[in-house]
Amino acid sequence: MKIAISGKGGVGKTTLAALLIKYFRDQGKKVLAVDADPDANLALALGVPDPENITPICMMKELVAERTESQPGKMGGFFKLNPKVDDIPENYSRQLDGIKLIVMGGVKTGGSGCICPESVLLRTLITHMVLLRDEVVVMDMEAGIEHLGRATARGVNKLIVVVEPGRRSLETAQQVRKLAQDLGLQKVAVVANKVRRPEDLEFIKEHLQGLPLLGYLPFDERIIDADLKARPPYETNPGLLEQAKEIAAQL
């Protein structure tokens, strides 16, 4: 099972990712958790100690240079487009309770379509994890799906877009669906978050425009408390795992 989770910033992508990771691990699955959001905080949501000391893959200059045969700090030039990455999940991940966490980081550029050693390494690594690993892979993505190439997208079993009650969030879901379709990824679904009342859920259902709804997570102050205490959301509210179970059953 290979799952990518996307959505507008602040909607709760990381909360859902942490819940699904915990659920699959409790089922006895080998789980590879991938933080592919440049604003990385999946480690915090999983309760990984000292997450501030995790160096994202794209910031490992010596590793990038070695694998892509490039020169650190230099623009342009030649570099390898198919770097070796198969050992990275084992050797450069943080492990906790049977979960391997790998933090990708992001390549910040002024334009689109960046082809640089860092982006090549990240894309190749994502492709490896999606197409060649035998674990459950849960990827916490940014609002877009820039890390996914066409071949990689076809290997994703489900792209989940997290939405909250609000038109901007639902518009983002449609934008993500279009990006996914451009890559040939048709398996797109929605999870609603921060649902306070039945009317919120009805609003979301009315504006999905054909996207299937896998389930929802209620608004809960305890999730905010968990974030403030740097603890996983399922520790302050164990009932969330039941919601995750219902969502996972739809996958």
Both tokens of 50, joined, read 């000292």
- DSSP strand E in 67-226: where? 94-96, 99-103, 136-141, 158-163, 188-195, 213-218
| Distance from C-alpha of 90 to C-alpha of 76, rounded to nearest angstrom | 30
What is the pLDDT, as a whole number, of residue 8? Answer: 86
Confidence of residue 76 (pLDDT cuts 50, 70, 90): low
At position 23, the amino acid (one-letter code) is Y
How confident is the model over 22-73, as pLDDT tens digits?
999 999 999 999 999 888 789 999 999 888 899 999 999 999 999 999 876 5
How confident is the model over 119-170, as pLDDT tens digits?
889 989 999 999 999 999 999 988 777 667 777 788 899 999 999 999 999 9
Q: Say whether pLDDT at 77 is over 70.
A: no
Both tokens of 172, joined, read 């983002």
Name the phi and psi angles at 191, rounded to 5.
-120, 130
As a whole-number percent, the residues of the chain with pLDDT over 70 amount to: 93
| Distance from C-alpha of 101 to C-alpha of 48, rounded to nearest angstrom | 9
Contacts of 246 by beta carbon, 8 Å cutoff, 6+ apart: 215
| Distance from C-alpha of 200 to C-alpha of 90, rounded to nearest angstrom | 42
Both tokens of 29, joined, read 């699955």
**Cβ atoms of 6 and 144 closer than 8 Å:** yes
What is the pLDDT, as a whole number, of residue 110? Answer: 37
Q: Say whether pLDDT at 113 is over 60.
A: no
What is the pLDDT, as a whole number, of residue 114? Answer: 56
DSSP class of residue 232 equals -
Across the beta sheet with 2-6, the strand order is: 94-96, 99-103, 31-36, 136-141, 2-6, 158-163, 188-195, 213-218
Which whole number is the average pLDDT over 70-87? Answer: 79
Q: 79-88, 138-147, 150-159, 199-208: which range is least confident on average?
A: 138-147
Q: Which residue stretches of the chain are H helix? A: 13-26, 42-45, 61-68, 88-91, 117-131, 150-155, 167-182, 198-206, 221-228, 233-236, 240-249
Strand-pair partners of 141: 36
pLDDT, averaged across the chain: 89
Residue in this structure with the two tokens 């909360």, named with its chain if needed: 15
- The helix-helix angle for 240-249 and 13-26 (nearest 10°) equals 80
**The Cα angle at residue 93 between residues 163 and 243, in degrees rounded to 5:** 30
At position 17, the amino acid (one-letter code) is A
Name the phi and psi angles at 192, rounded to 5.
-85, 140
Q: Say whether pLDDT at 109 is over 60.
A: no
pTM: 0.90
Contacts of 30 by beta carbon, 8 Å cutoff, 6+ apart: 98, 134, 135, 136
Going by DSSP bridges, is the β-strand pair 188-195/158-163 parallel, antiparallel, or unpaired?
Answer: parallel
Domains of the chain by start residue, with CATH: 2-249 (3.40.50.300)
Q: Say whether pLDDT at 111 is over 50.
A: no
What is the pLDDT, as a whole number, of residue 107? Answer: 57
